[in-house]
Chains A and B, each alone.
Chain A
Amino acid sequence: MTTHSPLLDVQGVSFAMQGQTLLAPISLQLHPGELLLLTGPSGSGKSTLLKILASLVAPTAGQIFFESRDIVTLKPERYRQQVSYCFQTPVLFGDTVYDNLALPWQIRQQKPQREQLVASLASVHLTADMLDKKIEQLSGGEKQRVGLLRNLQFMPQVLLLDEVTSALDEENKAAINHLIDGLIRENTLAVMWISHDVQEISQAKKVLKLDMPQQGEAHEPA
């Protein structure tokens, strides 16, 4: 275990909608260079938790601290560039793969070099000609990898991955695992990863299993 102070400190976060608990109160800490695998039955609130951590959804109760600062005091855009959420089934933007990989650059008012994007594609076993491919022509697995690459154009401090290998074959799954593994070690990236993959789960040092929330104990906002 690292001795760093936690990057993310989650305290009693829960989520309810129309009186129904979708995420039971949860507290956890995530340190730099740490991989936390999130598992549990569907409906246990895994995706909801990641969306709350990415500040896409406000929790019903509880607080989240990023580098010891309550995230409600941070500028949402800046925070999300540091704590980046990747959807399981990404919706791609624009016309081509290029449009998607260029978007994080446009957000930062920069323009990418094509070579950079090609190298980025290669890291997930996608070829250079993919860059100008129309997004409608991509397979589910290709879309998933392009979606992930968008989040990796500028390295965040925390990466929240929502079953990002669900549409991939074993070979490509291994490539993603290898890539993320490297980023965790080299860039001290912290990762929270939702997975049902037995192999991925068995390799992770830390696994958090969410249980189905008990109904009827919805927490009202403080």
Chain B
Amino acid sequence: MSQHNITDSSLLLSLMLVLIALLISQKEKLGMSKDIIWSVCRAIIQLVIVGYVLKSIFDLNNDWLTVLMVLFICVNAALNARKRSRNIDKGFTISFIAITTGTTLTLTILVLSGAIEFIPMQVIPISGMIAGNAMVAVGLCFSNLNQRVSDNRQKIQEMLSLGASVKMASGQFIRDSIRAAMIPTVDGAKTVGLVSLPGMMSGLIFAGIDPVKAIKYQIMVTFMLIGTASLSTIIAAYLSYRRLYNKRAQLKM
């Protein structure tokens, strides 16, 4: 049976890895020492808190608390995705709707199909993976849409001046942005197991589960990431493109 109890002393020893980074930063005058120390401290504190919070939530095993935790994850993901919204106002609302819808639908399918059980120990980590992926996809979609529309201002204005609707004038850029936002997820699915052994599978293998069983979970993860990324991105793109124009169908930027 594999050993999956990491001791405090071995953890402390692995801190040496951070020391290597610090040494390099000092020697090469990268000026990153402060940043490295700060990031490591943050990681330790955040994870310790999350560890205890999750432990108590798992112990309580309350459905409402589980739902609340999923919402908390979605709010945080939306707050992060909003940072990329730039010219798109209501960035938080749009991200929240997109990410929460994608996450909820995927969770529902996973629970109803019996792939996972509606217990905090399974729902919360899965929600984190889904919402995290949706967050990256929605953020990418926002920045792509902003960039493409601003790069193609004249093209859009020419379509508008021929009498095209805002939707028609932006159509190509909406589709391109959705595609660009989904590329990391789709590429990830193509190379899964070849380039990296993803977190879910690695975790199970660490915990001593038969790799043949572990891959089943990873296959499920692949399905859910593709599903959520596409759904969240499409919702975000179609809710946001109109925000780049004013009421008179004029480009804001």
Q: Which residues of A contact B (CB under 8 A)?
A: 51, 54-58, 72, 76-78, 80-81, 84-87, 90-91, 93, 103-104, 106-108, 147, 150-151
Contacts and interface: CB of A to CB of B under 8 A. Distances in A.
Contacts of B216: none
Given A56-B157, A87-B154, A91-B155, A80 B250 contact: no
Given A76-B249, A107-B168, A54 B162 contact: no
Contacts of B164: 77, 103, 107
A72 B248 contact: yes
12 contacts: A55-B248, A55-B250, A77-B163, A84-B162, A87-B161, A90-B158, A91-B152, A91-B154, A93-B155, A107-B162, A147-B158, A150-B158
Contacts of B152: 91
Contacts of B162: 80-81, 84, 103-104, 107, 150-151
Contact of A80 (B154, B155, B161, B246): B161
Interface string B156-187: 01111111110010000000000000000000
Contacts of A107: 162-165, 168
Contact of A56 (B160, B165, B168): B160
Contact of B248 (A76, A108, A147): A76
B158 A104 contact: no
Contact of A57 (B155, B158, B250): B250
Contacts of B165: 77, 107
Contacts, number: 64
A157 B250 CA distance: 21
Nearest to A50: B161
B246 A58 contact: yes
Contacts of A86: 161
Contacts of B248: 55, 58, 72, 76
Nearest to B164: A107
Interface string B82-105: 000000000000000000000000
Nearest to A108: B163
Nearest to A160: B161
Interface in B198-253: 246, 248-251
A147 B158 CA distance: 9
Contact of A54 (B155, B161, B168): B161
A56 B250 contact: yes
Interface-centre pick from B152, B162, B164, B251 (highest chain A CB count, 10 A): B162
Given A76-B160, A103-B159, A103-B162, 6 more contacts: A54-B161, A55-B250, A76-B249, A91-B158, A104-B162, A108-B163
